């Protein structure tokens, strides 16, 4: 991580947790100790967003795990950025590989969602990443640049401070396989260069690019040492007390 970019950790709870289990997570996060120089955001299922926002310390952000591309209407089962803001949450995760690959969300739809969420005043964690067969075919850059372009084209210049990009190689999510710090840094460096070439040098330098894909208490510090890795987006490990070590990985 470069010193000018604040270390960022997202805990994506996915479709996990009930009130009892969430209370336990809130308890260990509140007890900490958490690195005061790191930014922490928890991604919560929609039915618990209000509950978690009320119970977590204000210093910890709360994110929805998805939202739709318009403010309201006949879209059964969806939630809007306005609803997320109304209960006090500040963030949304968009384009996670599970949304792309389980629910069939397209690059174009994810771009539209990012645009609307930013316009409504939310901060956004857009996710990109290649599948195993794409990496093995040498298509990593082609895939992630295409995904990134669909998002970047929809981000107004004055909204970049509200964007944290997550690179999550799909083959490393929940599989126990992790991109080595060097593999992750290689892609992060290329993503940052793409931003410099296609947006601006300033945006490339200030935008945080975080890594997701089987991040654990054991490997988080090595990942955090890489110059273009500005934090992590953590799945299952964010449900366990060891998550504190991941939040504190840059100390």
pLDDT exceeds cutoff 90 at 161: yes
Backbone angles phi, psi at 135, to 5 degrees: -65, -45
Encode pLDDT of 132-159 as tens digits: 999 999 999 999 999 999 999 999 999 9
User: Count of residues for the chain?
Assistant: 251
Cis peptide before 33 (omega within 30 of 0): yes
Average pLDDT of span 89-117? 97
Q: What is the pLDDT of residue 156?
A: 97
165: which strand partners? 209
Token digits for 184?
């992750």
Contact 62, 53 (CB under 8 A): yes
Question: From the candidates 39, 130, 168, 188, which is the catalytic residue?
Answer: 168
The residue among 2, 5, 30, 25 whose CA lies nearest residue 13 is 25
Encode pLDDT of 190-245 as tens digits: 999 999 999 999 999 999 999 998 899 999 999 999 999 999 999 999 999 999 99
Query: Whole-angstrom Cα distance, residue 194 to residue 209?
Result: 12
Looking at residue 137, the DSSP 8-state letter turns out to be T
Block residue for tokens 């372009």 = 149
Region of poorest pLDDT, from 97-111, 139-153, 166-180, 193-207: 166-180
Whether 168 sits among the annotated catalytic residues: the reply is: yes
Whether 96 sits among the annotated catalytic residues: the reply is: yes
Question: From the candidates 39, 96, 105, 188, which is the catalytic residue?
Answer: 96
Give Cα separations from 213 to 65, 67, 78, 183, 201 (angstroms): 16, 22, 26, 12, 27
Encode pLDDT of 25-73 as tens digits: 999 999 999 999 999 999 999 999 999 999 999 999 999 999 999 999 9
Helix intervals (H) in the chain: 19-31, 49-55, 81-86, 97-101, 107-119, 132-136, 140-152, 181-198, 201-206, 220-224, 243-247
């Amino acid at each position: 991580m470069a010193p000018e970019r604040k270390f960022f950790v997202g805990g994506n709870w996915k479709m996990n947790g009930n009130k009892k289990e969430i209370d336990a997570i809130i308890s260990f996060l509140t007890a900490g100790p958490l690195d005061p120089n790191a930014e922490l955001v928890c991604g919560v299922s929609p039915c618990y967003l209000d509950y978690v926002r009320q119970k977590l310390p204000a210093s910890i952000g709360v994110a929805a795990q998805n939202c739709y591309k318009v403010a309201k209407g006949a879209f059964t089962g969806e939630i809007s950025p306005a609803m997320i803001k109304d209960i006090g949450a500040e963030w949304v995760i968009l384009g996670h590989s599970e949304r792309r690959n389980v629910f069939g969300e397209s690059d174009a739809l994810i771009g539209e969602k990012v645009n609307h969420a930013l316009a409504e005043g939310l901060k956004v964690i857009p996710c990109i990443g290649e599948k195993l067969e794409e990496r093995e075919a040498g298509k990593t850059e082609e895939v992630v640049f295409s995904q990134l372009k669909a998002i970047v084209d929809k981000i107004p210049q004055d909204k970049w401070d509200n964007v944290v990009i997550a690179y999550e190689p799909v083959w490393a999510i929940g599989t126990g396989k992790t991109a080595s710090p060097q593999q992750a840094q290689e892609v992060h460096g290329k993503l940052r260069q793409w931003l410099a070439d296609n947006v601006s040098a300033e945006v490339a330098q200030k935008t945080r690019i975080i890594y997701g894909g089987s991040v654990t208490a054991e490997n988080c510090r090595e990942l955090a040492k890489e110059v273009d890795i500005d934090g992590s987006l953590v799945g299952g490990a964010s449900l366990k007390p060891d998550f504190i070590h991941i939040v504190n990985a840059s100390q």
